[in-house]
Amino acid sequence: MSERKATERKATERKALAGIKVFDMTQGVAGPHSTMLLAQHGANVIKVEPLDGDWGRALGKTYGDLCAHAVTFNRGKRSIALDLKTEEGRAVAKKLAADADIVVESFRPGVMGRFGLGYEDIKAVNRDVIYLSVTGFGQEGPYNGLPVTDSVIQAFSGLMSINRDGEGAPQRIGMIAIDVMTGLYAYQAISSALIARMRFGEGAYIDCSLMQSAAAFQSAKIMEHHMEDGAPQVLYVPVGTMKTADSYINITAMRDRHYVSLCQVLGREDLIDDPRFNTRDKRIEREMELMPMIRAEFLKKTTVEWCELLTAAEVMNSAISDYGDYLANEQVRAVNSVAWVEHTGLGELPMVNIPGLPAIEGADQLTECAHIGQHTAEILGEAGFAGDEISALLTANAAGQYAA
């Protein structure tokens, strides 16, 4: 290990959140993503879910009570299954929340209050608690109670308006981008609140909505929309995905020197000093005139050939990869971007290393996704429940225990 890598590992392997207790009442993606990050940084995360499990366990193809999303966003947590519609289940949840540093929930506004598990309820028994709610549209306003998905927020926030197909129809990004981004914003908000509590001795209530996260994610585009009267110009030309003789390549000619190099590689030196295109602003203004000529040239060679030529000329480019291509790429392997780890019952899985944390070196509790209620008895025992009390909760279906 190099001295630089050794220094980086020393600075990050002491888990910053070790000893911090998190009571996680979230489902889906956004909330679980935030608490997974807390777990990976050392927090003791207890995930409470219904007896039939977090609905995020059924996203896409399932493997028993697991799926790709569940493994990704819930690794490193312990699971307790509680029926919060029962008085006994709510009492257990409140007892666990009373002992937590952080409580995170993702129910619709008002639901936690009706369960007696809202911020004020928990603050009454846990004065310094940091309580974060993940919502769709926020706690107030005419839309606050509406159900929301990632794609709905992509549509609502304007994101689809700037992502269109060849015929101009608005399209969603092909992944749950806003859910994932909301999880990141929630994690940073909780981390900041923890530091504030250390400095000032006070807990906090935080609302982190998908709507606001989508806006923050697109803040520069929203600013452009206002400053440029609703029709922002492209940042530079030529840029985009080009069809080649055998597949596709993406290129970016950001500066004048990139444009000159691109034209030279394409064998279109005539375009370099063409008065229609010899400045950035002219290229942007005449994009519809320039780009067909650029695209026509890319049809003459394969993607591999173009990548070699463009890279040698220092024109930014990449072949269009799928995830298999990414996992096999030598650069990905060189920086240990992805660790291949054995997961109980699922075999070897690609787990992406989180920036800022030491690379995963093998299977452990932080790489495992618990089954529904896998740790129910263990968690209840730690909370002071006697064996007969645990049995009574299970018999009454106020709690559930995973049976292998």
Question: Which tokens go with 17?
Answer: 């959140």
Question: Which tokens go with 155?
Answer: 């549509």
CA distance 89 to 83: 5
- State the amino acid at position 165 in one-letter form: D
CA distance 249 to 354: 28
Q: What separation in angstroms does the CA of 85 have from each of 56, 90, 93, 379?
A: 20, 7, 11, 20
Q: Which residues are catalytic?
A: 179
CA distance 146 to 162: 24
Write the CB contacts of 332 (distance below 8 Å, at least 6 apart in sequence).
Answer: 326, 338
Between β-strands 338-343 and 347-352, what pairing exists: parallel, antiparallel or unpaired?
antiparallel
CA distance 88 to 78: 20
- State the amino acid at position 309 in one-letter form: L
